[in-house]
Chains A and B, each alone.
Chain A
């Protein structure tokens, strides 16, 4: 089993933590999107991104 290579994909799951746990990155009002300040739409955008990353890891690690 190429376990170590498969495990590398788990690194993708660290991205949401980096993107969300450092608020200075997104504590801003602009640019707005559909009337939403950046602070709000940026965090909402992480929902589909995290889901997509999880699906990638699932495909690569589990469902080969």
Chain B
């Protein structure tokens, strides 16, 4: 194999195809506001699309939301750099769906009954603790912000490969995104996700048929990559050989799977489904995307076999496409990646806006907002969130966004005892808060100690040598404090907060029919602060 350096020149055909597709998506984004719109303005409408998305749209939205442009760039880049270790993304995205299948229908049902929009809303109602809900909301915001910034990095890489540099194209792309998210809310990414996913599927299916054909087949690709990986410094491997590598692999897969569905954007897309059954069905068919992700990861090996010498690891796949594909199809592929950045960025900014509005603004500044005011605040915050991400990427080196996103995964997993386990068991609110703080500190300290170079931490403990994902240690510390704390506080008879949910709120009796449940005024009343002024909420009228 000979070394290939891909020049980043502007190709007229590639750019034209890219711009046409990007333009089409922009129009869809703005028109989406008219789709299935309810009369009343509320956060349920803007921030959750009225909780009316059926199975197909939920599939596209969740798929488009969880598999981000950054994933498409970074996963094969990692495989390109280190080999098998980067492939943990496959077991990770397989294991997330059994978790989704079991836990999210419960969360959907209780959220629908009680009018919860965010995970922190649920924690507020379940544990009656303002402090714990604030901690959950802040964790969600902190974890989401760098993730939005990384979507911009995805666009930047694609633009860079097309020879477009400077900040203005990026600012323009984000201004368009901000515009239609503001106007259409969650409906914009829901419709754009359909286009995005079709483009991604076409690109990857073509790539895994066309590129191996040109490179002499998969057997040859694996052999060439395996040989090249051993010569890297530090050496990579085609198969994880050492116990350290295998423990790291398994804990990264498990920790990431548990973290993924706790992210606010995953929960926002889930809560927008029309029923708990829609979510269960989706958990069975969403793995189709995981298969795709596994193939995308292998693009890293194809880049090695093709002899691509990228200017940075993130350019491995864009360079491979530009080198292998005819100009027009490179345009399609690049549009797929760039549009792939818009869907998650939109959902993430909506999720962050929902959290800010419900759990910080309504909690501490203006508790008496009407539905309309609430959606107005969220729309403005969604603009602020995107502006923040843009400034972050333009002013600071990309490294910071990547480091923070890595930490974000560690942080968001620390909400598991309150949010995920809270669906089943009720630990003590003070213990959960202490556990959360412990997990945050342990995880952050480990990442800093590793200089952010790795998300895996070698630990010698009681004569054992463990080489595991930082988030897993942090969660273990979190759980020990939460459980022991709960036992002690309960024994001392320290009162736990009031629980505004009842066991039957988690199980939907007419679930199998797939019809949405209308919430009753009585249920709203029991939810305390989530009382809606009569007649103003679209949700109460959304039943069949």
List residues of chain A with CB under 8 Å of any chain B CB: 10, 13-14, 16-17, 20-24, 27-29, 32, 34-37, 39-40, 43-44, 46-48, 50-51, 53-55, 57-58, 62-64
Closest-by-CB residue of B relative to A38 is: B239
Task: From the candidates B91, B220, B238, B281, name the one contacting A29 in the complex (CB within 8 A).
Answer: B238
The number of A-B residue pairs with CB atoms under 8 Å apart is 104
Task: From the candidates A13, A22, A44, name the one contacting B102 in the complex (CB within 8 A).
Answer: A13
Question: What's the Cα separation between A43 and B218 when bound, in Å?
Answer: 16
Q: Which residues of B contact A34 (CB under 8 A)?
A: 218-219
* B220/A35 in contact, CB under 8 A: yes
Instruction: Known A-B contacts: A43-B87, A51-B97, A54-B284. Give 16 more (CB < 8 A).
Output: A16-B95, A17-B98, A23-B250, A27-B239, A27-B241, A36-B222, A39-B87, A44-B294, A47-B90, A47-B288, A47-B291, A48-B287, A48-B291, A54-B101, A54-B287, A64-B512
Task: From the candidates B94, B98, B239, B512, name the one contacting A47 in the complex (CB within 8 A).
Answer: B94
Which residues 281-325 of B sit at the A interface, judged by CB distance below 8 A? 281, 283-285, 287-288, 290-291, 294, 298
> Could you write out 16 A-B pairs with CB less than 8 Å apart?
A13-B98, A22-B250, A27-B239, A29-B238, A34-B219, A35-B218, A36-B218, A36-B222, A43-B91, A44-B294, A46-B91, A47-B90, A53-B98, A54-B287, A62-B280, A63-B512
The 4 closest A-B CB pairs, nearest first, are: A35-B219, A35-B218, A23-B246, A13-B98
Q: Which residues of B contact A14 (CB under 8 A)?
A: 98
B497 on the interface (CB 8 Å rule)? no
Which residues 214-272 of B sit at the A interface, judged by CB distance below 8 A? 217-222, 238-241, 246, 249-250, 253-254
B68 on the interface (CB 8 Å rule)? no
Residue from A20, A53, A64 whose CB has the most chain B CB atoms within 10 Å: A20
List residues of chain B with CB under 8 Å of any chain A CB: 84, 87, 90-91, 94-95, 97-98, 101-102, 217-222, 238-241, 246, 249-250, 253-254, 277, 280-281, 283-285, 287-288, 290-291, 294, 298, 511-512
Question: What's the Cα separation between A46 and B298 when bound, in Å?
Answer: 16
Question: What's the Cα separation between A47 and B239 when bound, in Å?
Answer: 19
Question: What's the Cα separation between A43 and B290 when bound, in Å?
Answer: 10
Closest-by-CB residue of A relative to B281 is: A58
Q: Which residues of B contact A27 (CB under 8 A)?
A: 239-241, 246
Q: Which residues of A contact B95 (CB under 8 A)?
A: 16-17, 20-21
- Give A1 Cβ to nearest chain B Cβ, in Å: 10
Q: Which residues of A contact B298 (CB under 8 A)?
A: 40
* B285/A62 in contact, CB under 8 A: no
Closest-by-CB residue of B relative to A43 is: B90
Q: Which residues of A contact B246 (CB under 8 A)?
A: 23-24, 27
* B219/A32 in contact, CB under 8 A: yes
Question: Contacts A10-B102, A62-B511 hold; do A47 and B287 have CB atoms under 8 A apart?
Answer: yes
Question: What's the Cα separation between A10 and B241 when bound, in Å?
Answer: 33
Question: What's the Cα separation between A2 and B44 when bound, in Å?
Answer: 36
Question: What's the Cα separation between A26 and B97 when bound, in Å?
Answer: 21
Q: Which residues of A contact B253 (CB under 8 A)?
A: 20-21
- Give A59 Cβ to nearest chain B Cβ, in Å: 10
* B84/A20 in contact, CB under 8 A: no
Q: Which residues of A contact B285 (CB under 8 A)?
A: 51
* A21/B239 in contact, CB under 8 A: no
- Give B472 Cβ to nearest chain A Cβ, in Å: 11
Task: From the candidates B87, B219, B239, name the one contacting A28 in the complex (CB within 8 A).
Answer: B239
* B94/A46 in contact, CB under 8 A: yes
* B222/A57 in contact, CB under 8 A: no
Question: What's the Cα separation between A63 and B222 when bound, in Å?
Answer: 43
Closest-by-CB residue of B relative to A12 is: B98
